[in-house]
Chain A
Amino acid sequence: MERLGRVNLAVEVKELVKVYPGGVAAVRGLSFVVEEGEIYGLIGPNGAGKTTTLRIIATLLKPTSGSVRVFGLDVVREAPRVRRIISYLPEEAGAYRNLTGYEYLSFMARLYAASRRDAEEMVEEAIRISGLGDRIHDKVKTYSKGMKRRLLLARTLMVRPRLAILDEPTSGLDVIHALHVRRVIRDYARSHGVTVLLSSHNMLEVEYLCSRVGIVHQGRLVAEGEPRRLIEEHGVGNLEEVFAKVVGGA
């Protein structure tokens, strides 16, 4: 923690609790930090509270208790300012079916860009990131799931956020599309110094992308660290086995 005290914190989650209307407790005292410039992965079984945590950080949900700060800004009290520096990709996000990919990106870029020129640059970058080529001028409803996900990832990254929040970025994608998405995330984070907080079920993906991971189980953080160190500490062969050991599935 002393080491972390000397660097800028992109995300600081303290004793986070979220109880939904109806009494379902999704997060029960979760605490972790994400350093600026790193790719941090939240992993855990279904219902562990990963998506809820990401939604709170993205200012969509309010915590029941505890606090969340993004680059020092409180996500509840300073939500509009937080929204200006983050970009969020939900797990099952869609795009407007009747717009073309280009129109969709232009619409999003205009919400962030200070000038028309900036917006055009953002869109150009997004087209490059998405790798959709000429299909960018086709309507979104004609896209495959993989193409749609690439478009959405491009939308998330083109605005050059200080923090990109990616919920299961490769969920449901085939190998080729998943590979493209992973490469884009890694390269973009490195080249632009963007902090990435992602959640994933795919341990290979997490090992490939993340500098640190946090394993969440039943709304609490049960293990955290660099993937390689976690594997060594638990004396297993890979992160999947660490995960199974920690959450009690093995």
Chain B
Amino acid sequence: MGVLRVLVVKELKDLLRDRKLLIGMILAPLLIYVAMGAVMSFSIRESMRAVEERVEKGVELGLMDLDKGPYSTLLRQFLERFMRARIVEVEPGPPSKVLRKLIAKRVPALLVVPRGFSRNISRGLRGFLEVYVEIGDLSISSMALAGVYSSIPERFSQYLSTIIISNSSSVNPVFAKDPVGGVSKALFAGSEVDMALLQSMMGQAFMLPIAPMLVVGYAASLAAMSIGVEKEEKTLEVLLSLPIGRRGIVLAKLTSSLAIAALSSVSMMVGLAYYISSVSTSIGGGFGTSIFGFVGPEGLAMFAAAVFLSVLLASTLGLYLGSFGEDVRSAQSMVGFVWIVATVPLYLAMFSDLALDPPQRLLAIASIPFTAPLMVLKALVSSRLLYAAVSMASELLVLILVILLLAKRFEGEKLLVGRGGARRRRWGTLLVKRRA
């Protein structure tokens, strides 16, 4: 037991005195979840606030009244009185086509009251309403707003139920309890989609940051390792004394890391496509009705390009940060930083709503590095390509900046001599003193 204790103390001292390891392995995971929690809580709060504000102001709604009976009139009164709805009367026509026209007038939903709605209710039979809602983006805000419109049949049913029960005692209790049903459909990326399918796509969308995050992390780790190995195996000195430009060395390291990262990206895309396709198939759809199906092959290619750009940035950043480590272990632990700077923006992008959030906020989010994969996908789905362009341009600019920093690092002698041992010694002494 005594020997074990001595060995454990030695191991802990060795590990804890490596501040890079401390930051990468202990602080980074903590910070990732703290930052992600803050981002998610902020995003959800903001999304719900935006929806509530919109509902308080009164929802805008197109009404296609094919019934023209007493219960459709009652429905209209209910909407105006209890939901403060601003109703736009529309002429009969194919609902999707009518909704597209309404969207152009900034009215995001259409309520269709079918023929015979009032007649059915008068006879004690359930009446059915159809709700068509535009989903601007796969986000919490859009889905919450769609939920407000989708709940109209249920809300009206509850309202009507109290009227029916109070006016007649001989009515069928099953009917009286729930006299109105509803069917909700969404108009998403220009196509009519079943709400259940959309819910599934929302699930897929929440999975989307994970795949790029894994590839980005792997790329950064690989690049950091390539420089860490050079230092640990003592091959760096010889490499730097060879008659080859330092930029050539950087480029070669980036290219080889990228080649492997590209393979990883392809593998990720295939896996992700399979995952999304199987989820869609299991609920009666297919790849065509998945989130990737909506963006099409060109969109898919753009998404892959954005992932590749993020991987390139992660590799460069990994190589730069890894160059501060003395060996593989410390170089790898530096990659923890890349995880923080990549994960949080990815989730920030995930929770943003390109249709409902203020453009300034969206542009700010799009400007953060590593948001490109998500921003591109969301921009393609919601046909707001500006955010995709801003996101990719910003990532490219940061990439150029990191490449310049990396080239400078390789040009100088700090790659070999490090930053000096004084600070490290102070840190080590501090830890020992605190424990003592």
Residue B237 is within 8 A (CB to CB) of chain A in the complex: yes
Interfacial chain A residues near B244, Cβ < 8 Å: 83, 111
Q: Is the CB of A60 within 8 A of B233?
A: no
Nearest B residue (CB) for A140: B233
Nearest B residue (CB) for A89: B238
Q: Is the CB of B243 within 8 A of A88?
A: no
Q: Is the CB of B237 within 8 A of A90?
A: yes
Q: How far is the CB of A15 from chain B (nearest CB, A)?
A: 19
A90 CA / B239 CA spacing, docked (Å): 11
A60 CA / B245 CA spacing, docked (Å): 13
CB-CB contacts below 8 Å: B225-259 with A: 233-235, 237-238, 240-245
A156 CA / B416 CA spacing, docked (Å): 20
Q: Mark A110-146, 1 if CB is under 8 A from B, else 0.
A: 0110000000000000000000000000000000000
A152 CA / B244 CA spacing, docked (Å): 18
Beyond A21-B417, A22-B422, A61-B417, is A94–B243 a contact (Cβ under 8 Å)? no
Q: Is the CB of B243 within 8 A of A60?
A: no
Residue B419 is within 8 A (CB to CB) of chain A in the complex: yes
Nearest A residue (CB) for B425: A22
Number of residues on chain B facing chain A (CB within 8 A): 19
CB-CB contacts below 8 Å: A27-55 with B: 55
Q: Is the CB of A111 within 8 A of B242?
A: yes
Nearest B residue (CB) for A56: B413
Nearest B residue (CB) for A59: B241
Residue B2 is within 8 A (CB to CB) of chain A in the complex: no
Interfacial chain A residues near B93, Cβ < 8 Å: none
Interfacial chain B residues near A20, Cβ < 8 Å: 417, 420
Beyond A21-B419, A22-B421, is A90–B413 a contact (Cβ under 8 Å)? no
Nearest B residue (CB) for A155: B238
Q: Is the CB of A88 within 8 A of B419?
A: no
Q: Is the CB of A97 within 8 A of B233?
A: yes
Q: Is the CB of A93 within 8 A of B420?
A: no
Q: Is the CB of A61 within 8 A of B413?
A: yes
Interfacial chain A residues near B234, Cβ < 8 Å: 90, 92-94
Q: Is the CB of B243 within 8 A of A80?
A: yes
Which of A62, A83, A84, A112 has most chain B Cβ within 10 Å? A83
Nearest B residue (CB) for A81: B243
Q: How far is the CB of A154 from chain B (nearest CB, A)?
A: 13
A240 CA / B264 CA spacing, docked (Å): 58
Interfacial chain B residues near A108, Cβ < 8 Å: 242
Q: Mark B402-436, 1 if CB is under 8 A from A, else 0.
A: 00000000000110110111100000000000000
Q: How far is the CB of B424 from chain A (nearest CB, A)?
A: 10
Beyond A88-B237, A93-B235, is A83–B413 a contact (Cβ under 8 Å)? no
Q: Mark A66-97, 1 if CB is under 8 A from B, else 0.
A: 00000000000000100110111110111111
Q: Is the CB of A60 within 8 A of B419?
A: no
CB within 8 A of B245: which of A80, A95, A152? A80
Q: Is the CB of A90 within 8 A of B420?
A: no
Q: Is the CB of B233 within 8 A of A94?
A: yes
Residue A58 is within 8 A (CB to CB) of chain B in the complex: yes
A18 CA / B269 CA spacing, docked (Å): 52
A97 CA / B229 CA spacing, docked (Å): 10
Q: Is the CB of A88 within 8 A of B238?
A: yes
A92 CA / B414 CA spacing, docked (Å): 18
Interfacial chain A residues near B417, Cβ < 8 Å: 20-21, 61
Beyond A20-B417, A21-B417, A21-B419, is A60–B235 a contact (Cβ under 8 Å)? no
Q: Is the CB of A95 within 8 A of B235?
A: yes
Nearest B residue (CB) for A22: B420
A155 CA / B237 CA spacing, docked (Å): 14
Interfacial chain B residues near A96, Cβ < 8 Å: 233, 235
Interfacial chain A residues near B240, Cβ < 8 Å: 60
Q: Is the CB of B243 within 8 A of A84?
A: yes
Q: How far is the CB of B326 from chain A (nearest CB, A)?
A: 13
Which of B238, B240, B245, B414 has most chain A Cβ within 10 Å? B238
Beyond A80-B243, A111-B242, A112-B243, is A60–B421 a contact (Cβ under 8 Å)? no
A83 CA / B248 CA spacing, docked (Å): 14
Interfacial chain A residues near B422, Cβ < 8 Å: 22
A248 CA / B416 CA spacing, docked (Å): 32
Q: Is the CB of B242 within 8 A of A60?
A: no
Q: How far is the CB of B331 from chain A (nearest CB, A)?
A: 16
A61 CA / B415 CA spacing, docked (Å): 10
A101 CA / B242 CA spacing, docked (Å): 18
Interfacial chain A residues near B233, Cβ < 8 Å: 94-97
20 further interface pairs, Cβ-Cβ under 8 Å (given A83-B242, A90-B234)? A20-B417, A20-B420, A21-B420, A22-B421, A60-B240, A60-B413, A60-B416, A61-B416, A61-B417, A80-B243, A83-B243, A83-B244, A86-B241, A88-B241, A90-B238, A92-B234, A93-B235, A94-B235, A111-B242, A112-B243
Interfacial residues, chain B to chain A (CB-CB below 8 A): 233-235, 237-238, 240-245, 413-414, 416-417, 419-422
18 A-B pairs with CB atoms under 8 Å apart are: A20-B417, A22-B420, A58-B241, A60-B416, A83-B241, A83-B243, A83-B244, A84-B243, A86-B241, A87-B241, A88-B238, A90-B238, A93-B235, A97-B233, A108-B242, A111-B243, A152-B238, A155-B238
Nearest first, the 6 A-B pairs at minimum CB distance are A22-B420, A94-B234, A94-B233, A88-B241, A90-B237, A21-B420
